[in-house]
Amino acid sequence: MGDAPFLGFKHDGAWQTISWAEVARRVCLMAENLRAIGLRDGDRVVIVSENRPEWCISDLAIMAAGCITTPAYTTNTERDHSHILDDSGASAVIVSNAKLAKPLFAAIMATGKVSHVVVMEGVSTAQSGSFDLYGWDAMMAGDTAAARAAVEARIANIKRPDTACIIYTSGTSGAPRGVMQPHAAILCNVEGAAEILTEDFGIKDERFLSFLPLSHAYEHSGGQFLPIGVGAEIYYSEGLEKLASNIEETRPTIMVVVPRLFEVLRTRIMKQIEKEGKIANYLMSRALAITAHESEHGSKRLIDRPMDLILEKTLRPKIRAKFGGRMKAMVSGGAPLNPEVGNFFEAMGLTMLQGYGQTESGPVLSCNRPKVGLKMDTVGPPMRGVEVKIAEDGEILVRGELVMTGYWQRPEDTERTLAGGWLHTGDVGHLDEKGRIKITDRKKDIIVNDKGDNVAPQKLEGMLTLQPEISQAMIVGDKKPYMVALIVPDAEWALGWARENDIPFDLKALQDLPAFRSAIKAAIERTNGDLSVIEKVRKFEFADEPFSVDNDQMTPTMKIRRSFIKEAYGERLEALY
């Protein structure tokens, strides 16, 4: 692609770009400098950074050096970083700034695993420690031609089954597991998604706006390697608070987003239209009615076509303008999309696609396609190179190059998840008459919040019950903005608390006292101190009685039965939102 613009970013209030050739030059130089400081084939290198051009350059350079990228979230605590560093055995870390370096450096010192740290900005490389520090500029030094030749010779030996990255995702045990994604998994995703773009939309002058964390497998494959694969530009958003203006300024053609963002934008658009008077509201209601009928029956009614033409001249151009005026498709993934939200954007003239998958599948295994027919309560047909079958118990099983090679250093988990040569997704569903996947339930207990982040409830529940005040706990937060808990106070602790406060002991009555509630809240806040932002428990409710086998809220092996508990307390837990 030569001198054509590739990576876009905002600097001093203006959008700037780096060309494909310049990115290639920087990648080669950094790859050789990583080798020069001592990194070797297969070494794991952690990236801790917000979305920016340096993230992409680092990722490609790590792979070009023969190493394995290990992304980490910017919201990680010292404890989270320690687990990833310790588990992966990382040799090096690339971090963007002093704020993100603080918990990371503490984790490095605690684990003693990392020998080399590269900093993008804001950290002095003069300071001493148990590791060597290198500035970003030092990684960009050297003979460009020699670096290019060395990289090309090295990557000629990298094969599709080789590990490209290890992405940590929460498992049922609570401790995040490292998913080993081979180059083939990412390439299979790129090839399948590129086919949809080509056949359903046509590829020309594509521009992606990167918003989701690149440490998330969805953005890593869909927001970085897909644009590279189709020769598209990538512009990096300044963050949620500036996303709306960034969309208007950069005029993207494709966006990879999570459902929560669509819900926020939908609310904002509806409020704006409501302020515009009766005509605008009438047009919106007619647009929604037309789309609802089309979604249910597969085609527009003849009687709706004149109004549809009016909407194309009036309401929809205004909405499209707010999205830059060039948007071909917005792809929702990472968490289930409410069909009502999808239909809203479709009614407003913006094509909404819902994808489905998990980190273990590259991560995308299916996506809605206009040529097949958009049905918002499905996640579309399997993509190219993806084989899907439904097990006897209804679980969705997947096979193909997109499937991980396994969990890093966890052979038992790998064998269980890849049993019989198929990836067991943990989701229950079926294929409709057009081969689209419809998900009806989830076998696994992993919570996926409304932003697509994975949270292991068992980990949080275990940490809460370590507090002397709490006997039992159940975490809820699926498709929600934050975690909430159902709490059973420890009876012995509660008895002591009642005596200290000279209050008659009645556990049910105590739960109504503000002081008692504050004591339990303090216990939860202590736990929150060791949790990342997405894991923190924001609100809680008391259970009426302990979870037990007798009330069907525990199994004979003393595991909580989530579905039974949710059935008993569903309304009260929902009220916490």
- Dist CA 516 CA 525 (whole Å): 14
Q: How many domains does the chain have?
A: 3
Question: Tokens 């996506």 identify what position?
Answer: 367
* Residues 332/310, Cβ–Cβ less than 8 Å: no
355 with 240, same domain: the answer is: yes
> Domain ends where: 117, 140, 158?
158
Q: Is 203 exposed, middle or buried (0-12, 13-18, 19+ CB in 10 A)?
A: middle
304 with 390, same domain: the answer is: yes
241 with 122, same domain: the answer is: no
346 with 486, same domain: the answer is: no
| Residue 192 in domain | no
| Residue 148 in domain | yes
Q: What single letter denotes the amino acid at residue 11?
A: H
265 with 383, same domain: the answer is: yes
DSSP secondary structure of 27-89 = HHHHHHHHHHTT--TT-EEEEE--SSHHHHHHHHHHHHTT-EEEEE-TT--HHHHHHHHHHHT
421 with 462, same domain: the answer is: no
Neighbours of 496 (CB within 10 A): 13
> Domain ends where: 423, 447, 471?
447
Beta strand segments in 376-459, E: 387-390, 395-399, 406-407, 423-431, 437-442, 447-448, 454-455
- Dist CA 37 CA 34 (whole Å): 5
| Residue 354 in domain | yes
Q: Which of 3, 139, 5 is nearest to 60 (CA)?
A: 139
Pairing of strands 395-399, 387-390: antiparallel
The CATH number that applies at residue 303 is 3.40.50.12780
Q: Is 298 exposed, middle or buried (0-12, 13-18, 19+ CB in 10 A)?
A: exposed
400 with 316, same domain: the answer is: yes
- Tens of pLDDT, residue by residue, the chain (577 residues): 999 999 999 999 999 999 999 999 999 999 999 999 999 999 999 999 999 999 999 999 999 999 999 999 998 889 989 999 999 999 999 999 999 999 999 999 999 889 999 999 988 877 667 899 999 999 999 999 999 999 999 999 999 999 999 999 864 445 789 999 999 999 999 999 999 999 999 999 999 999 989 999 999 999 999 999 999 999 999 988 899 899 999 999 999 988 878 877 887 888 889 889 999 999 999 999 999 888 888 788 999 999 999 999 999 999 999 999 999 999 998 777 878 888 999 999 999 999 999 999 999 999 999 999 888 889 999 999 999 999 998 899 999 999 999 999 999 999 999 999 999 999 889 999 999 999 877 777 778 899 888 887 888 998 898 888 999 999 999 999 999 999 999 998 999 999 999 999 999 999 999 999 999 999 999 999 989 999 999 999 999 999 987 888 886 556 788 888 999 999 999 999 9
407 with 313, same domain: the answer is: yes
- Dist CA 200 CA 328 (whole Å): 10
| Residue 195 in domain | no
pTM above 0.85, yes or no: no
- Domain hosting 248: range is 233-447
435 with 490, same domain: the answer is: no
- Dist CA 380 CA 133 (whole Å): 47
The dihedral region occupied by 518, where left means phi > 0, alpha psi between -120 and 50, and beta the remainder, is alpha
| Residue 208 in domain | no
The CATH number that applies at residue 28 is 3.40.50.980
> Domain ends where: 421, 447, 473?
447
